[in-house]
Structure 1
Amino acid sequence: MEQKKRKGLPIFERFAFGCGDAGCNIIYTAMTGFLLLYYTDYAGVNAGAVGIIMLVSRVFDGVSDLIMGNIVDRTHSRFGKARPWILRMCIPFALAGILLFSVPASWASNAKLVYVFITYNLVSTVIYTAINVPYSSLNALMTQDPYERSVLSIFRNLLATAGSLFINTFTLRFVEFFGDNAAAWSKTFGVFGLIAVILFLINFAGCKERVKPAVKDGEEKTVPVKEGFVSLLKNKYWIIVTVMLALIFVSMALYGGATVYFAKTVLGDKNLVAPIGNAVYIAQIVTMFIVAFFVKKMGKRNVMIAGCVLNIIGFGLMLLTDNYVLIIACSVLRGVASACMGATMWAMVSDTIDYGEWKTGNRTEGLVNSACSFGYKIGNGLGSAILGGIISMGGYVDSAAVQSAGAVFSVKLAFAIIPIVIYVVIIILLKGYKLDQEFDGIIEDLKKRAEA
């Protein structure tokens, strides 16, 4: 349990926490928004084959997530359980990003696919997992106050959005500056990698781990792997949140990857991807400054549901128009929705850790977050695979001056229709989530156990 009662974490510590996800998003946003475009239009790799690679890779990714979660739970150092890994992995993270966007242009098609498989798994399965699972565990280790966790999630989402905004705005500009060829992508991510290292160092230096298990002094134990998994399966709220995260990231992978195709195919200019994406990010950032009020009044679950409803409206309106101004207006609405969801989803994960400890007696921040990471990576991989399949089956041809009706519909399907269905499912799923009302009583009971 938390050893000292706090009114709130320092502003700089909240900012430092958010810097971690800003660093992660340099690679994540690139993978969801630009990697498929790089593979198809610059590296000459088939979109359908890439989609299959991304989906198959999630099997390895899931195993690595669970391994890393157990490593975090067993880490004991003067820096804590999670922070040491952020320090150790920040430079490998930057180098891996460069390799991801360095497919040898002169290689044969099969050789390129092998390179894509190896580097994609190096980044997603090994490097990203080794830094993101510890980072995701940090929220629950910094504080046990539910509102403060929401504030940390807001800072996380705010800085992550700023990172996404930066990547969305400057990636294609940097690529053009460095020559608008395959090699330009490697140089671009050399610059971005350096920025990521700086952000991770701020995260490591500025955060503190405070929360301990609810046991008497000297009685803390290491939870066996099998027992930890059994505890997860008894945690109904963890199951709900993990499925929710997987669905959210399926949607994000779909519309994130389809945005550039939407700009090219429907609006006729791939450079419009920046203003469309930026409208989302700017609205999200602005909303982040006020969303804490609504979280405090309405609870995390209800704010999450509100975000789903706003996304349904925004995407629904997009299906009815190809007018640029209206598309931007809908993007602003989606930005507000994203703020609602981003401010709550990671705090909900942290709350399930306390519920799991109360329910089973086992506190496993690393395992809970790694299993959630597995869920949302499966979602991201599935979304990317679906996107690649839809674009390929729709008949999209990069060199075509005008795309077929099937290609245009496939882009709209990935960009809006499937995400709408996903958000309806999430709303139905959250009807069984009651932890907001139960949380205060759970924390009080954990305190009594520690004092007994």
Structure 2
Amino acid sequence: MKSNVSTTKVPLSEKVTFGFGNLAANLMITTANGFITYFYTDVVGLTIGVVGTILLFARIFDGVSDLVMGATVDRTSTADGKARPWIKRMILPYGLALILLFSSPSFLPENFKAIYAFATYVISLAGVYTMTMVPYNTLIGTTTSDSKERGYLSTSRTIFGFIGAFGVNGAVLKIVESFGEVTAASSWTKMATVFALVSVVLLTLLYRNSKERVLESSEALSADHAQKVSTQDNIKALFKNKYWIIMILSMLISFINSGLSGINIFYAQWILGDISKVAILGMLSFAPIIAGSFIVPFLMAKMFKRNVMLLGSFIMLLGLVILAVFPTNFTMICVGVIIRGLGTAPGAVAGFAMLGDIADYGEWKTGIRSDGLIFSAATFGEKVGSGLGGWLLGAIMSLGGYVAKASIQNESALFAIKAIFAYLPIIFAIITIILMFFYDLDKKLPQIVADIQNRAKGLNKT
């Protein structure tokens, strides 16, 4: 029987195209995080409270679908692997879902617009996005068992993802305006169509140039037995993995902050006095992450991944403090945003590489390798976190008395915008730092991998 542990190097071309998946992901998720609140309120005409509720309940439902999809991937066994077949199936639906997300038919009665928004949001994010991105994230664990190679794949994922996020923040409003009025729903739908076409091409290239090399190594993990391991057993094994719990909480917090990024357009409009500055805020948020992501692999070669995460969290905290102290000084806001972005890069790269290590730990501890469920932590955290972030954004602004399409906002509404932009993320950064002090897998990993290899050798001899 073939070993589960593969030290085969991943070709450079495959490392590059691996990042295309996250570029496609950000064409949907970053556009949703950054602009869906504005689209629903100032374009469709929903109240900020209704929008926050839609985002919260849709994303909680969405998070459950991530775990279900993770279990489904773990029970999939084909000649192409267990993750790649799902990516192939979802290429065209992914493009259609992106278009659906930013649509609001003009013939709909006013009282049906919120229902339509909720339904299309769930279909796009809880359905199609989940069925595409859970398998995609799983590829980090099934492409190779080499920890360094996983780090390179995660680096590619992060760089291309944030290139996408950078481009989205700089281009969305310009593309929308090129198709007509920024307050016209049809202009947003056409923008989404452009992103949909690009996503289809990216996912096609990802599928064609990927390969799953990590093969099952024991009778409990054999391809034939994969179908026999129940979802219940997989989930039980998952919750025996303390490091998975730490990472899912950490990722949840990270993506709550992503959900809060929808505040940028309001911050530019009401605090900085120029809505066009949202493009600068967005690009300055993501450009440092892209630059920092090139450095992180070198840091991971010298430091434990946990320490890389901690370093990033402290840098991020510094940037957030600058934003809190200088709320209306645009120069200092730019400095703070850049530092915050540099601090985001280590966690963005190391976090996904750590999930591959966590899969090794789970196999070592329980005898069940649950790559799909473990990597579903990423999309679970991404969507539930950003949903909670969107809900918090709506709830806090609603409590502050924000009024959509108003010519002026009261002081409490302006304070709410500042709190979402800087004060709340400071609290989340501190919580992340505390969580990381409980993560000590890095020093145990070499022995764990050696034990798995020895088990595989013993099986191969029989």
Q: Which TM-score band (shorter chain)?
A: over 0.9
**How far apart are the structure 1 equivalents of 2:84 and 2:221?**
23
Residues 113-152 of structure 1: pairs in structure 2 closer than 5 A: 113-152=114-153
**How far apart are the structure 2 equivalents of 1:70 and 1:294?**
33
In structure 1, the gaps of 5 or more residues are none
Q: Does 1:184 align with 2:190?
A: no
- The answer (yes or no) to whether the contact 1:153–1:346 under 8 Å persists in 2 is yes
TM-superposition CA deviations, 1:234-261 (whole Å, max 9, x none): 101111111111111112211x111111
Question: How far 1:408 sits from its partner (Å)?
Answer: 1.1
- The answer (yes or no) to whether the contact 1:304–1:344 under 8 Å persists in 2 is yes
Identify which of 404, 425, 431 aligns with 2:431: 425
**How far apart are the structure 2 equivalents of 1:344 and 1:21?**
15
- The answer (yes or no) to whether the contact 1:62–1:378 under 8 Å persists in 2 is yes
Q: Does 1:202 align with 2:202?
A: no
Residues 22-421 of structure 1: pairs in structure 2 closer than 5 A: 22-180=23-181, 181-215=184-218, 219-220=222-223, 221-222=225-226, 223-254=229-260, 256-321=261-326, 322-421=328-427
**How far apart are the structure 1 equivalents of 2:231 and 2:79?**
24
TM-superposition CA deviations, 1:263-287 (whole Å, max 9, x none): 1111011110111111122111122
2:383 aligned counterpart, secondary structure: helix
Pair 259,217 (structure 1): closer, same or farther in 2 beyond 3 Å: closer
Identify which of 438, 445, 448 aligns with 2:444: 438
**How far apart are the structure 2 equivalents of 1:439 and 1:102?**
47
Pair 3,425 (structure 1): closer, same or farther in 2 beyond 3 Å: closer
**How far apart are the structure 2 equivalents of 1:260 and 1:425?**
26
- The answer (yes or no) to whether the contact 2:221–2:368 under 8 Å persists in 1 is no
Tell me the TM-score normalized by structure 1: 0.96
**How far apart are the structure 2 equivalents of 1:164 and 1:130?**
21
**How far apart are the structure 2 equivalents of 1:237 and 1:3?**
20
- The answer (yes or no) to whether the contact 1:267–1:324 under 8 Å persists in 2 is yes
- The answer (yes or no) to whether the contact 1:242–1:376 under 8 Å persists in 2 is no
- The answer (yes or no) to whether the contact 2:312–2:343 under 8 Å persists in 1 is yes
Pair 103,165 (structure 1): closer, same or farther in 2 beyond 3 Å: same
**How far apart are the structure 1 equivalents of 2:170 and 2:109?**
32
**How far apart are the structure 2 equivalents of 1:253 and 1:218?**
37
**How far apart are the structure 2 equivalents of 1:364 and 1:114?**
36
Question: How far 1:291 sits from its partner (Å)?
Answer: 1.7
Question: How far 1:106 sits from its partner (Å)?
Answer: 4.7
**How far apart are the structure 2 equivalents of 1:87 and 1:304?**
33
Pair 73,447 (structure 1): closer, same or farther in 2 beyond 3 Å: same
Pair 372,332 (structure 1): closer, same or farther in 2 beyond 3 Å: closer
In structure 2, the gaps of 5 or more residues are none
**How far apart are the structure 2 equivalents of 1:313 and 1:67?**
38
Question: How far 1:372 sits from its partner (Å)?
Answer: 4.4
TM-superposition CA deviations, 1:162-205 (whole Å, max 9, x none): 11111111110011000022110001111110001111111111
- The answer (yes or no) to whether the contact 1:43–1:105 under 8 Å persists in 2 is no
Give the percent of matched residue pairs that are identical in Structure 1 and Structure 2. Answer: 39
**How far apart are the structure 1 equivalents of 2:200 and 2:338?**
31
Question: How far 1:4 sits from its partner (Å)?
Answer: 4.7
Residue type at the aligned position of 2:211: K
**How far apart are the structure 2 equivalents of 1:28 and 1:152?**
20
- The answer (yes or no) to whether the contact 1:216–1:450 under 8 Å persists in 2 is no
**How far apart are the structure 2 equivalents of 1:225 and 1:424?**
35
Residue type at the aligned position of 1:413: A
Question: How far 1:9 sits from its partner (Å)?
Answer: 1.8
Pair 218,278 (structure 1): closer, same or farther in 2 beyond 3 Å: closer
Residue-pair matches, total: 450
Question: How far 1:376 sits from its partner (Å)?
Answer: 3.5
**How far apart are the structure 2 equivalents of 1:4 and 1:428?**
34
